[in-house]
Amino acid sequence: MGTFSKVRSTVAVAACLLVVTGCTAQPAPPTPPPATNTDDGFTSPLTGDLGVATFTGSDGTTGAVQLSAADGRLALTSDELVIPAASSGSVAVMGALDPIDADITCFDVDFPMRLANAESGKPYKAWRNLAEFRGDPTAIDQLVLTTRPQDDPDCSTRILAIADVQWNVQPQRNTLVARDAGPRAAARGEVSSTDGKPTSYAVARNDLAEDVAARFGMTADDLFYLNPFRFPSDEILRVGEDLNLTVAAR
């Protein structure tokens, strides 16, 4: 978390004590609002039952995928998926970070998130490392069953069914709120706001993650938690990159 030095005002006050006349203490620079979260370990790792996605497609697709966590891993489990449109062969279980309209038939996203493979009528269990989600998979809005069509050159991943994930847990950092303290040396990008609250930040040249995070009263780890699926996923900010600043939109 970034802080401002108080040395200047301390020196000014000391000078006033030594020279009684002609000296006025200068006000301290503004202090950014405190971070809602203080360090990387303020939350316990997720464990146990996390949520479920239940498929009830009009084409007869039924079944549920359970999501749980243990030992730093996310488990996706299903004993009962019935997928008439894929009676033979496997389908992919994909994650959608934003809701998909019901009339969309092609899973065409910039960075498709493949979570598991499944076959109609066969139980399965798949594991993913929670670190892929910055420890918190609640950013996933929906699970999507997909297949690769053989005769559609315009769509490489066809949607078979979509189910909302009903999470049993809150986002780990659900109290994290960005508050803009204004531009600083390595955080001079443009901010977008809704109702006076910062919602996104456009990275400027020479911006650094620690400074951008401090500008909004959070740690760099908080900033990357809010942006778990950046590509590349390293911690170097890129000019023009849009960073999310709200838990709801992560």
- Asked if residues 53 and 64 have their Cβ atoms less than 8 Å apart, the reply is yes
Q: Angle CA(121)–CA(125)–CA(129) in degrees, nearest 5?
A: 150
Closest CA to 109 of 95, 123, 121: 95
**Higher pLDDT pick, 108 / 2:** 108
Confidence of residue 87 (pLDDT cuts 50, 70, 90): low
Look at residue 23 in the predicted model and tell me its pLDDT.
35
Residues 6+ apart with CB under 8 A from 23: 12, 15, 16
pLDDT of 71 above 50: yes
Which fold does the domain 48-167 belong to in CATH? Answer: Immunoglobulin-like (2.60.40)
Domain spans of the chain? 7-39+174-244, 48-167
Closest CA to 83 of 75, 93, 74: 93
In our burial notation (b when 16+ CB lie closer than 10 A, e otherwise), range 194-209 reads eeeebebbebbeebbb
Closest CA to 245 of 191, 182, 164, 183: 191
CATH of 7-39+174-244, one of 3.20.20.70, 1.10.10.10, 2.60.40.10, 3.10.350.10: 3.10.350.10
Look at residue 5 in the predicted model and tell me its pLDDT.
36
**Higher pLDDT pick, 21 / 189:** 189
- Asked if residues 58 and 162 have their Cβ atoms less than 8 Å apart, the reply is no
**Higher pLDDT pick, 23 / 187:** 187
Residues 6+ apart with CB under 8 A from 20: none
- The tokens of 115 are what? 């979570």
CA distances in angstroms from 184 to 56, 80, 149, 189, 235, listed in the order given: 51, 54, 51, 9, 19
Is 48-167 in the same CATH topology as 7-39+174-244?
Answer: no
Confidence of residue 86 (pLDDT cuts 50, 70, 90): low
Residue 28 backbone dihedrals phi, psi, to 5 degrees: -70, 150
CA distance 165 to 191: 31
Look at residue 67 in the predicted model and tell me its pLDDT.
98
Residue 15 backbone dihedrals phi, psi, to 5 degrees: -65, -35
- Asked if residues 126 and 75 have their Cβ atoms less than 8 Å apart, the reply is yes
pLDDT of 247 above 90: yes
CA distances in angstroms from 221 to 18, 132, 164, 224, listed in the order given: 45, 14, 28, 5
Confidence of residue 15 (pLDDT cuts 50, 70, 90): very low
